[in-house]
Amino acid sequence: MHGSHPSEMRSLQAPLGFFSPEAVSADEERAGMLRAATLGDPDDPDSLDYHQCELFDLSSVQQSTPNLDTDLDTRGFDTIDLGPLSDMQALLESVRSAGEISAEDARSLRRGLTGRVFRLNGGKCLRLLSIAPEGLIMRKSGPNDLKPDPDVEMGEMNGHGAARAIHGDQDVRGTPLKQLMRGNAPWLFRHQTPDGSNRWSPLMLVNLWIPLDQVTRPLTLMDRSSLDARRHQLRYALPTDAFLDRDADMKVNDIWTFLHHSGQRWYFHSELDARRAYVFDTLGTPHGAVILPGEDVVESYYTQLREVAAAVQQGEMQVATERAGAAGPAVLEGSTPALERALASLQTLLREAADGFAAGTEDWLRRVDAACDRLIRKSIEMRVVALLLPDCWPFNRAVASPD
Ligand SMILES: [Fe+2]
């Protein structure tokens, strides 16, 4: 069943990276399934099969709009309101401004979220029972996939870029769930998998995905009721050596990749911040980080502004003024209001520099840092064992309210 879109919902066109159909074969282990060959880095843009897709912007309509196409169970994703949790908001803002997450931050996040109940838009509640010890990470990426800190190595929680390839995070019958739960995961968890679903269990494995800044590289998610799973969902073994220290039988993550089809429907939020987080089904909801139209333009102004700032810091004022006056690319078309506002603030700062820093260089440098930082996409994600409950007493009595 397809929900009709509210007529005022905006959309844009952007390329999404799918798995290439040439490297797909019938699965020899599980009848009727398809397998994607493991070929080097799954996020290598050269190996992806790009398709221009229409992305519907959920921020362009009210959250209370009927027929809003978010529902954790049927569509595979939804959002929850973290706004009322003031301690949590303060913690997320400190992680955002630090640009990295510490072990102490992660502990506080786990403590603050475990046991909480959140109301879903789709008319149910979600109780967060337990946050997985592995997989709490922070991701960062600059406009147009620019590397914000090229020298930082990927560790367990930090140094992760945005995921370019469209994927699903975990096969309920695969590693490491198979080993960790001794094969019981398909019976315990609610899931929709091409070779057998579990639609009666209220227990779910969900990703909680908290945006800190996502003017660039926003997360995009597929409405899974628009997915033909038997034809387009592929088993994929992802090597984990680069970021996890695991036993020999668990050196891969069995995840999902996807083939493109024109019937698939995609969504994103252009204005999401840490007050509202995505929850989506870890066991299959297709998602990835999109590069929005116009990010290449923003990247070029960002780089120019950084060069001007470096010259100012070295006291080379003439170099700075000349560099600031150089014309950049002119247009930004088919993008989001947030990206347009961000671009305007970069252009204002460049103009002030070209005109000779009327407000003084110290204040100017501070504003450059703030404006550029907002263009670095930052997000925190974690895996949560959660209970899907009816939105009625007594299940909803602990729904998140102000601290
Ligand atoms: Fe993911």
pLDDT digits (tens, 9 = 90+) for 122-178: 778 999 999 998 889 999 999 999 988 777 788 888 888 888 899 999 999 999 999
Instruction: For residue 181, give its domain range.
Output: 11-293+375-390
pLDDT value of residue 245? 64
Q: How far apart are CA 299 and CA 329, in angstroms?
A: 10
pLDDT value of residue 225? 94
The alpha carbon of 288 and the centre of ligand 1 are apart by a number of angstroms equal to 7
The alpha carbon of 41 and the centre of ligand 1 are apart by a number of angstroms equal to 15
Does residue 190 surpass a pLDDT of 60?
yes
pLDDT value of residue 6? 59
**Residue 206 included in any domain:** yes
**Residue 366 included in any domain:** no
**Residue 362 included in any domain:** no
**Residue 360 included in any domain:** no
Least confident of 58-62, 313-317, 380-384: 58-62
The alpha carbon of 348 and the centre of ligand 1 are apart by a number of angstroms equal to 36
Residue 216's pLDDT band (cuts 50, 70, 90): very high
The alpha carbon of 366 and the centre of ligand 1 are apart by a number of angstroms equal to 34
**Residue 318 included in any domain:** no
Q: Which comes out higher in pLDDT, residue 125 or 41?
A: 125
**Mean local confidence (pLDDT), 226-251:** 82
**Residue 3 included in any domain:** no
pLDDT value of residue 252? 85
Q: Which comes out higher in pLDDT, residue 309 or 46?
A: 309
Beta sheet of 167-168, edge-to-edge order: 11-18, 49-57, 266-268, 219-222, 287-289, 167-168, 252-258, 233-239, 34-36, 24-26
Asked whether 132 and 177 are in contact (CB, 8 A), the reply is no
Q: What does pLDDT average to over the chain?
A: 90
The alpha carbon of 401 and the centre of ligand 1 are apart by a number of angstroms equal to 29
The alpha carbon of 331 and the centre of ligand 1 are apart by a number of angstroms equal to 32
**Residue 309 included in any domain:** no
**Residue 399 included in any domain:** no
The alpha carbon of 328 and the centre of ligand 1 are apart by a number of angstroms equal to 35
pLDDT value of residue 1? 36
Q: How many distinct structural domains can be found in the chain?
A: 1
Q: How far apart are CA 49 and CA 89, in angstroms?
A: 38
Task: Render pLDDT for 329-385 as a digit per residue (tens, 0 to 9).
Answer: 777 788 999 999 999 999 999 999 999 888 789 999 999 999 999 999 999 999 999
Q: How far apart are CA 91 and CA 98, in angstroms?
A: 11
The alpha carbon of 319 and the centre of ligand 1 are apart by a number of angstroms equal to 43
The alpha carbon of 205 and the centre of ligand 1 are apart by a number of angstroms equal to 13
Q: Which comes out higher in pLDDT, residue 233 or 402?
A: 233
pTM across the whole model: 0.93
The alpha carbon of 222 and the centre of ligand 1 are apart by a number of angstroms equal to 12
